[in-house]
Copies of this chain bind each other. A is one copy, B any other.
């Protein structure tokens, strides 16, 4: 088993960094071959743009998908992207470790998706969803949220974090991953929050233990259900008889 742990936190002494190193250690102890990627340490540029490409199908106008496919097929992807893509295709299990910032992933991780999930290499109109390039691979989102579990519950003011992650989960399903139920640790924020340091440390210890439990039972974690290819008609519409597994599909619009 080959595992890739990608982390997206700017502070090497952060709790996120500790979770990332813990994941790598526990996976190695389970016999996995493990690679770790710290996007901040790599200074990964999350901005997809024309200047990354030495060769261009159209030097005059940068169309993202065109240049991604052209450079993928021609073996001339930007070196940083090619390395990330190699790691991704190498791994059987991907762990994405990040803090929830503004109800989403940090920009450096969003840009990793924007740049590394290249058209022609990671997906095409024929290779996606059940027939996606990453079919048979698993992915786990390990997320820290500053707010409490209560605030992030389905009745809480921050909104249900598991649902807020849906656009990310669906992107990973799109490229073919089996998406594991995310591990979300709540109440994780800066050390200077005015709390009692002992209470904070006790809270972090409980959360770390929850995370370790998830990592040591990773082969038994449930997967997030998605609609399968056969649930869609030839026009990309959910068939009337199919259940919907997405909060965004056949959902009564709330606004």
Contact = CB atoms under 8 A, between A and B. Distances in A.
Oligomeric state, in copies: 2
B62 A107 contact: no
Contacts of A14: 61-62
Contact of A102 (B40, B113, B160): B113
B151 A236 contact: yes
A10 B244 contact: no
A111 to B, nearest CB: 3
A80 B47 CA distance: 16
B249 A255 contact: no
A38 to B, nearest CB: 12
Contacts of A48: 10, 101, 106-107
B249 A245 contact: no
6 contacts: A63-B192, A104-B104, A106-B114, A129-B157, A157-B249, A163-B247
B249 A154 contact: yes
Contacts of A192: 57-58, 63, 66
Interface string A134-153: 00000000000010101101
Given A10-B50, A154-B251, A246-B254, A65 B110 contact: no
Contacts of A102: 110, 113-114, 117, 167, 171
